[in-house]
Structure 1
Amino acid sequence: MSRVICAGHVNWDVTLRVDALPEPDGEATVESRVGAGGGSAANVASGLVGLDLPTSLLGSVGDDEYGHAAIAELASKGVDCSHIVSVDHGPTTVKYIVVDADGEVFVLGSPGVNEAFEASDLSTDALVEADHLHLTSQSPGTAAALARRALDAETTVSFDPGRRIGDRGYTEALRLVDYVFLNDREAATALGEAAESHPNGGKRRRHDGPGGNGGVVGDALDDTTLVLKHGPKGAEVRDEDERHVHPGYPVDAVDTTGAGDAFAAGFIAARLDGRSYERSLAVANACGALTAAEPGARTQLSWRRLDDLVER
């Protein structure tokens, strides 16, 4: 039995480390090029397994070299890949990740089949037996269907919708989940505000986000616990009128790719272990810090490494 099921993108990442991000019509020197498995759901699943939580992954890849390599890498880490769908009508999604000397990242994506899976590809038995379902960016219809099924199975759900929260139509799914993870840019889009500290400690929302999406998305989040990621400034939980804050850990960022996914893995693992919001934020921030301090999207997480950082 898997205690957690992660659903969403399974990709192949090609990471290019450059001396600096070029200006328009400029040029940068590629210092290294590395290929490895990626995708937000796959990254979280890998992190959870490192934190001793049996985890299954629901997603889709092409029946090609990159798809086979992505599954093999995840399986070698202990992720249950039996729910990953291999399709023959398109390629595995490849992301080109460019990282500069300060750890800043931008991503170039190529079309692929990482949203070809459907909610029906996950059996009811697997969902009922799980303690938690974590959703990442995926088809809005699939996300909503999975959230509804988890609700019926009395399985808790978290959702990290990603950078396109304002234009992908995630409103129905957001209404059904227990936790929503947002970084500062995503919170500004979803809530119509900067996701910064507010004296009243509540979920302050003006509902006037960019493109007119803040109101619709913000309303969908009214009854949801928000987990807000502030990067090097730490993170917070907003639950009804309560606010819980952790300042984070000072690290020299090498590559921020996957740091948000590692954060989610740490938070989920701590909450399933019965930890308080404060302790869960401490663990989550430690996971994000360790990942940002090393190259690549998947740092090897373990409780020993986290305890060393948290206790310091």
Structure 2
Amino acid sequence: MQAKVVVIGSLNMDLVIRAPRLPRPGETLVGESFVTVPGGKGANQAVAVARLGSPVAMIGCVGDDAYGEQLRAGLLDEAIDCSGVQTVKGINSGIASILVDDHSQNAIVIVAGANGQLSPASVQALDALLLDAQVVVCQLEVPLPTVEYSLRRARELGCTVILNPAPAEAPLPAHWYALVDYLIPNESEARALTGVAVDSPGTAQIAARALCEAGVQNVIVTLGSQGVLWMGPDGVEHRPAYAVQAVDTTAAGDTLVGGFAAALARGQAPGEALRLAQAAAALSVTRQGAQPSIPMLADVERLMTP
């Protein structure tokens, strides 16, 4: 099937350590467990789209190493179109070192590896994947010129454009905002983009208003256990989170982004798409790991059924 969603972004192998708490600077802690899990924000979001009901293609780069082979194989197992996943010779695949504590909070360090080789020319050469896509999803774990090209090309083609500005360390280039239909930051990313200390629905609304005034059509700020704050042309709405027992928050945001994209591509109204995305994210935090935690559509629909 022709992909209705194209995800342009990173593929990483996640190196996950569980420990009682996050270490202080200079401190050595004894960990509880270690696993390697396929991840990367782009790949996670592509898996979420696939499991939550829409055909999807992935555009990205892996290294010519064992991790690269595993990352590609994992996406193929999800029936994701990997014709846009390129293998870069002589460079390692991207990795993310993830520390998760007993309160399910995490600290993450990423090394781009092959993700840093995804260029605008690479995406341009794969234009056939974009031509019939309904939704294009980008993040910030690949070079920024590539993100900009992808946003601009998706806008030219009339696609719905979703940008998950992660990891954000500073405001985005001003001319990007008008290229984005849905900007989906978390609390720390919203603060990096606006300077507003986001820790509640009220402060999220202040940050979202600033981003809408900058030119974004819709802003969805994810607030963890406090739900999401959505601001768009029709106003502002705070949606509480589903009540679940969190085990690991890794990839919860990616699950929400992918679920939202999948639902939009299936023709659901944005409000219903966001409801499904929140339910999917809620289920994901009840499971460990990045891609292994992303639920199937049937599981999400059961959670949503009164």
How far apart are 1:189 and its partner, in Å? 2.1
How far apart are 1:188 and its partner, in Å? 1.8
Question: Any conservation in 2 of the 1:235–1:245 contact (CA below 8 Å)?
Answer: yes
* Residue 258, structure 1, aligned to residue 259, structure 2: no
Question: Any conservation in 1 of the 2:17–2:99 contact (CA below 8 Å)?
Answer: yes
Separation in 2, partners of 1:65, 1:193: 42
- Per the alignment, residue 144 of structure 1 pairs with 148
- Per the alignment, residue 21 of structure 2 pairs with 20
Q: Which has the larger displacement, 277-286 or 242-251?
A: 277-286
> Residue 115 of structure 1: SS of its match in structure 2?
helix
Q: Give the AA of the match of 1:275.
A: Q
Deviations 1:132-185 (A, max 9, x none): 110011211111111111122111211011132516x54443331211111111
Deviations 1:222-272 (A, max 9, x none): 343101101111112210351133201111211111000001111122223
Q: Give the AA of the match of 2:147.
A: A
How far apart are 1:219 and its partner, in Å? 7.6
- Per the alignment, residue 82 of structure 1 pairs with 83
Separation in 2, partners of 1:46, 1:237: 24
- CA RMSD, aligned part only? 2.1
* Residue 130, structure 1, aligned to residue 133, structure 2: yes
- Per the alignment, residue 218 of structure 2 pairs with 225
Separation in 1, partners of 2:282, 2:212: 32
Identify if the C-alpha distance between structure 1 residues 236 and 219 changes in structure 2 by more than 3 Å, giving closer, same or farther. closer
How far apart are 1:282 and its partner, in Å? 1.8
How far apart are 1:111 and its partner, in Å? 4.7
Question: Any conservation in 1 of the 2:59–2:82 contact (CA below 8 Å)?
Answer: yes
- Per the alignment, residue 287 of structure 2 pairs with 294
Q: Give the AA of the match of 2:39.
A: G
- Per the alignment, residue 120 of structure 1 pairs with 121
Question: Any conservation in 2 of the 1:158–1:179 contact (CA below 8 Å)?
Answer: yes
> Residue 130 of structure 1: SS of its match in structure 2?
coil
Matches within 5 A, 1:66-105: 66-105=67-106
Deviations 1:15-62 (A, max 9, x none): 111122222333322211111211001000001111121111011111
Deviations 1:43-82 (A, max 9, x none): 0000111112111101111111111111111111111111
- Per the alignment, residue 212 of structure 1 pairs with none
How far apart are 1:85 and its partner, in Å? 1.3
- Per the alignment, residue 35 of structure 1 pairs with 36
Identify if the C-alpha distance between structure 1 residues 156 and 165 changes in structure 2 by more than 3 Å, giving closer, same or farther. farther
How far apart are 1:105 and its partner, in Å? 0.4
Q: Give the AA of the match of 1:179.
A: Y
Q: Give the AA of the match of 1:204.
A: R
How far apart are 1:97 and its partner, in Å? 0.6
> Residue 3 of structure 2: SS of its match in structure 1?
coil
Match of 2:269 among 276, 282, 287: 276
Separation in 2, partners of 1:159, 1:220: 17
Matches within 5 A, 1:149-228: 149-166=153-170, 170-195=173-198, 196-198=200-202, 203-205=208-210, 218=211, 221-228=214-221
- Per the alignment, residue 6 of structure 2 pairs with 5
> Residue 166 of structure 1: SS of its match in structure 2?
coil
TM-score (norm 1): 0.88
Separation in 2, partners of 1:129, 1:95: 32
How far apart are 1:305 and its partner, in Å? 0.7
Question: Any conservation in 2 of the 1:254–1:293 contact (CA below 8 Å)?
Answer: yes
Q: Which has the larger displacement, 123-132 or 228-237?
A: 123-132
How far apart are 1:287 and its partner, in Å? 1.3
> Residue 263 of structure 2: SS of its match in structure 1?
helix
Unaligned runs of 5+ in 1: 206-217
Separation in 2, partners of 1:172, 1:60: 26
TM-score (norm 2): 0.90
Unaligned runs of 5+ in 2: none
Separation in 2, partners of 1:74, 1:126: 16
Q: How many residues align?
A: 298
